[in-house]
A and B are shown apart, each in its own frame.
Chain A
Amino acid sequence: MQQPELLPHLFRTEYRKIIAVLCKRFGFDEMETAEDIASDTFMTAAQTWGLQGIPQNPVAWLYTVAKNKASNFLKRQATFHTKVVKETATPENASTVPEYEIDLSPQNINDSQLQMMFAICHPAIAPQAQIGLSLRILCGFGIEEIADAFLTNKETINKRLHRAKEKLRSENIPIALPDLADIDDRLGAVLATLYLLFSEGYYSISNNKTLRKELCFEAMRLCYMLVENKQTNKPPVNALLSLMCFHASRFEARMNKQGELILYEEQDTSLWDADLISKGGYFLNLSASGNQLSKYHLEAAIAYWNTQKDDTKEKWENILQLYNRLLQIEYSPMAALNRTFALSKANGKPEAIIEAEKLNLINNHFYFTLLGELYTGMDNLKARDHLEKALTLAKTQTDKQTIQKKIDRLS
């Protein structure tokens, strides 16, 4: 790799490691310093490598520079500290030898990243801020990229991150793995954020396909870190990873070159990623231990059935029962609508129409799209009414196009 590609590549893989280790070491009080040192390291690399060429071991070079900058900071801080508090220092404190060494070993990088993940995904931090912080600190995204992903500007993201960092400090959130007794609860919050991060990429209305894909794969990478660690390798983590693999397997098939969404039934199934589907199956199997049935288990199982191309009775009966159970754990309008669609496939349209009308989600264009679809072939006039209602409620161009196509098919 030549320098022009090498440095951005290393930034993407190494920045997040350096920053996690430094943050962990300095604490949230000096979080900005950690960010500055990590950024400075890459700035120094750009200058030096431009003049002297790429060093033999670029990663080790970066680590050495980051370590030196960090130790210098710690020494300065210690000097300041002893000068200012010299008068009040007790002899024991004064004799403590300060440790300026920064540990950038793979083990400490991994530990620091996991601990940061739990700190950032603390319930005290608002979900959107958790995602922003995760992208910045755990994924090494630039402010501009984060702004792009959220379809907003840099100032908004900067403000959001700033508030989130203040919150990390004011709530005194420790950079550590939670106690064993709390780990399931806290892991739940981490998984919720990773799932949001994934969905942000998967369902985002941003047209930047590369960026969207990266968000998904970052969420999967972080989830994989949890699977790799003994303490956090729990069934729901495997279930979530499985779910993400199944969804991601359709990434190429669900969007055309213009970035428009292609409906499931119209996808070119040869574009489904067989490798990701098999990985999904692998983690789904691993998730099937213990007696905990999380919503991720159910969603992963639904996603599994959706990778089965044939429209069999067995497939839809299974999907229906999985939605029945999912809704008992957690209600969501989308799950209710999908359940009703599965019901029409498993038990027939007449029953599904009765059930659909009970849902009464009158502000949701998907609700009227579903009703339109159920009535198609049963009562095309009603079908048209519902689809036209859906058209007036739909907000994005893609949704409007999809609905218009269904209306056109009626005549």
Chain B
Amino acid sequence: MVYRANFNFMPERSPEEMAANTKRWMDWIGSIAAQNKLTDRGNRLDVSGKVINKDSTITNGPYAEIKESIGGYSIIKADSYEAAIELAKGCPILTTGGNVEVREISPMQ
């Protein structure tokens, strides 16, 4: 699961709201883990970053023309896209305007 949101326009949040949001994430990922469907909690990605272009120039990322960027990822186990989507539906990012992209990993042979 890849988490996307417009991280540049995050509303200001109080410490209490931040804590509540963290709890929502932890409860959600804990729920997936309790179903023995979590492979790797994954990580958050830095909001900014660098992009190496084809002409070797370096620009600040994420792409200026795209509002949304990838904020993090997790790896889950599911038998089908439908099952994976069911798990993803509880993701707290959906309540704050972000989205979750579900993609199957195709292992390197």
Contacts of B33 in A (CB 8 A): 324, 327-328, 331, 336
Complex: chain B residue closest to A336, CB-CB: B34
Task: Report the minimal beta-carbon distance from A353 to chain B, rounded to whole angstroms.
Answer: 13
Q: In the complex, which range does the number of interface residues on chain A fall in?
A: 10 to 19
How long is the Cα–Cα vector from A132 to B91 in the complex, in angstroms? 46
Contact assessment for B30 and A320 in the assembled complex, using a CB-CB cutoff below 8 Å: yes
Q: Which of A323, A327, A347, A359 contacts B38 (CB 8 A)?
A: A327
- Name the residue among B33, B35, B36 with the largest chain A CB count within 10 angstroms: B33
Contact assessment for B35 and A358 in the assembled complex, using a CB-CB cutoff below 8 Å: yes
How long is the Cα–Cα vector from A339 to B26 in the complex, in angstroms? 12
How long is the Cα–Cα vector from A97 to B44 in the complex, in angstroms? 65
Say yes or no for B31: interface residue by CB 8 A criterion.
yes
Complex: chain A residue closest to B22, CB-CB: A321
Contacts of A317 in B (CB 8 A): 23
Chain B interface residue count, Cβ-Cβ cutoff 8 angstroms: 12
Task: Report the minimal beta-carbon distance from A347 to chain B, rounded to whole angstroms.
Answer: 7
Contact assessment for B35 and A336 in the assembled complex, using a CB-CB cutoff below 8 Å: yes
Say yes or no for B104: interface residue by CB 8 A criterion.
no
- B1-57: which have CB < 8 Å to A? 23, 26-27, 29-31, 33-36, 38, 41
Contact assessment for A327 and B34 in the assembled complex, using a CB-CB cutoff below 8 Å: yes
Contacts of B35 in A (CB 8 A): 336, 358-360
- A307-344: which have CB < 8 Å to B? 317, 320-321, 323-325, 327-328, 331, 335-336, 339-340, 343
Q: Which residues of A does B touch, CB under 8 Å?
A: 317, 320-321, 323-325, 327-328, 331, 335-336, 339-340, 343, 347, 355, 358-360
Q: Which residues of B does A touch, CB under 8 Å?
A: 23, 26-27, 29-31, 33-36, 38, 41
Of the A-B pairs whose beta carbons lie under 8 Å apart in the complex, a sample of 11, sorted by A's number, is A320-B30, A321-B23, A321-B30, A324-B30, A327-B30, A328-B41, A336-B35, A339-B34, A340-B34, A358-B31, A359-B35
